[in-house]
Amino acid sequence: MTALTEGLQDYLEAILLCERKHRFVRTKHLAERLRVKSPSVHTAVKELTRLELVEHESYGHIELTPEGRKEAESVYSKHKVLYHFFAETLGLPDALAEETACGIEHHLDDKTIGKITRLLDFIERKAKEDPEFDAELKKVLEHD
Partner DNA sequence: GCCTATAATTAGCCCAGGCTAACTTTCTTA
Partner DNA sequence: TAAGAAAGTTAGCCTGGGCTAATTATAGGC
Footprint on this chain of DNA (rule: CB under 7 A) = 5-8, 10, 26-28, 31, 35-40, 42-47, 56, 58-60
Residue 128's binding partner among DNA, a second copy, none (Cβ under 5 to 8 angstroms by kind) is none
User: To 10 degrees, what angle do helices 94-104 and 66-84 make?
Assistant: 130
Residue 115's binding partner among DNA, a second copy, none (Cβ under 5 to 8 angstroms by kind) is a second copy
| Cα torsion 71, 86, 41, 19: sign | positive
> Between 8 and 72, whose beta carbon lies closer to DNA?
8
Summarize as ranges the residues that interact with a second copy (CB under 8 A).
86, 89-92, 96, 100, 103-104, 106-109, 111-112, 114-116, 118-119, 121-123, 126, 133, 136-137, 140-141, 144
Give the shortest CB-27-to-a second copy separation in angstroms: 27
> Between 3 and 95, whose beta carbon lies closer to DNA?
3
Within a 10 A sphere around the Cβ of 110, how many other Cβ atoms?
11
Give the shortest CB-76-to-a second copy separation in angstroms: 18
Give the shortest CB-79-to-a second copy separation in angstroms: 13
Give the ranges where the chain is alpha helix by DSSP (H).
Answer: 6-22, 27-34, 38-50, 66-84, 94-104, 110-129, 131-142
Within a 10 A sphere around the Cβ of 82, how many other Cβ atoms?
22
Q: What span, in angstroms and rounded, lies between the C-alpha atoms of 11 and 38? A: 12
> Between 52 and 136, whose beta carbon lies closer to a second copy?
136
Q: What span, in angstroms and rounded, lies between the C-alpha atoms of 50 and 111? A: 29
